[in-house]
Amino acid sequence: MSEKYDVVVVGSGPAGYVSAIRAAQLGLKVACVEQWIDDKGAPVLGGTCLNVGCIPSKALLDSSQKYSDVIEKFSKHGINVEKPTVDVAAMLDRKNKIISQLTSGIGGLFKHNGVVVLQGRGKVLSGARVEVTNGKEDPSIVDAGSVIIAAGSVPIAIPPAPINGDTIVDSTGALEFDSIPKRLGVIGAGVIGLELGSVWKRLGSEVVLLEALDTFLPMMDSQVASESAKIFKKQGLDIRMGARVTNAVEKKKKVSLSYQCSGEEHTEIFDKLIVSVGRRPRSEELLASDSGVTLDERGFIYVDDFCATEAPNVYAVGDVVRGPMLAHKGSEEGVMVAERIAGQSTKLNYQCIPSVIYTHPEVAAVGKTEQELKADGIDYQSGVFPFQASGRALAADDSEGLVKILTDKQTDRILGCHIVGPSAADLVQQVVIAMEFGASAEDLSLMIFGHPTLSEAVHEAALAVSGHAIHMPNKKK
């Protein structure tokens, strides 16, 4: 007789482990299926985010930024360091220790909350059942009152540049270089490409980013995208737009890459090549033919506004469903689904999900962009404040970028916020909170912000919406 659980979660990434923990907190009997194992055969929890995505990339971004500061900024502060060097092995070891600490932490949280880990590949069957295959024993069938699919995503591969795990790698391989490439090529100038390119540029690589699109960061507000491009190019990132890769082959331990740009064929030689053209849902071999769960043409699981699939009592959350592939989006979907299974009427506000690019300076956004408001015919106002006018940013020698707030012209309600600058990821969260409560720019402008702080730039941008900014000249409204 098979084991029976109230909830079975497939996948232990941010969407999966959070939904499992929340369901257990609500008194439900929960199991989480995870196929990833370590070299000892034990389940590896945390999914892409903790193991080969968000966390390790941020560890390397932080380490490389500290080295960059030593090289480029310390002398301005009167600090002189002679001939600093990089120990890549130590850097990777620090990254791996952080990963281990966090993934083992999830195991501890599972144990504390009574979540059972089932090691193996999960496949959703009809009747809210899950088949678990681990390659050691015969497949087992687990009965569930409800199933939450949180299988995550994988890097997209492209035929012109096949991954070989050595000279041509995906985002996972780019986190494991054991030495600094003299010349590094990156296919894709999106979030992942910019972050990984920044890491190795700071450490000394010559970095060329090849982007097939003609528009830089099209998902971002165009003004912020334009400002970001200027900053990144000033840092030495060679960003080439409209560059379509046609071929990449290994030759004598280097990569010969061909691409077309403006109708002309070009060839470049790199020591390493990173393919970072996006991610796709991990939906292969996930669903039995009679599961009742439907995929769209891109492999995403079809769900409604509450992440319910077309199969009774089967839900899907995170990267495997529509919407931005963001760990925090998946986590909150997991919480929503767990609470709805437990009988609560939780709803997620998809208009208030922030997105961040963890370059330096960071790029962050929430809500509508100016181009979206124009396309929708919405009458709006904007307020912009540059960090060059921020005393705190100048004191920190970190004053590139700006804060931009967009509001409805009639109601003054905040519709979006877009930031490129120091601590943008944390600053945008202030506006996320304001938007969640339906605040106006006037509401933000009436609040008292500490001085001197970077957050004053948010305050001034809110004041600038109505032409009342104090620390810069206002444009006539």
Q: Is 418 a catalytic residue?
A: no
- What does the block give as tokens for 255? 């990569």
Total count of residues recorded for the chain:
477
Positions of E strands within 87-200 = 116-119, 121-125, 129-133, 140-149, 153-155, 168-169, 183-187
Q: How far apart are CA 19 and CA 23, in angstroms?
A: 6
Contact status, residue 14 vs residue 49, Cβ threshold 8 Å: yes
DSSP for 330-342? HHHHHHHHHHHHT
Q: Which of 77, 266, 451, 468 is catalytic?
A: 451
Nearest-5° Cα angle at 144, 43 to 331: 60
Question: What 3-state DSSP class applies to 9?
Answer: strand
Burial class of 112 by CB neighbour count within 10 A (0 to 12, 13 to 18, 19+): exposed
DSSP 474: P
Whether the Cβ atoms of residue 168 and residue 249 lie closer than 8 Å to each other: no
In the structure encoding, which two tokens stand for residue 315, read together?
């839900």
How far from the centroid of its chain's Cα atoms is residue 459's Cα?
26
Q: What is the DSSP string of 298-318?
A: TSPBP--TT-B-SSTTEEE-G
Q: Give DSSP secondary structure letters for 265-286.
A: EEEEEESEEEE-S-EEE--TT-
Least Cα distance to 123 among 13, 10, 217, 43 occurs for 10
Bridge partners of 154, per DSSP, are 280
Distance of CA 218 to the CA centre of its chain: 16
**Of 432, 422, 433, whose CA–CA distance to 455 is shortest?**
422
Radius of gyration of the chain (CA): 24
Containing H/E element for 16? helix 14-25
Quick one: which H or E segment has residue 383?
A: strand 380-386
437: left (phi over 0), alpha (psi -120 to 50) or beta: alpha
Kindly list the catalytic residues. Answer: 451
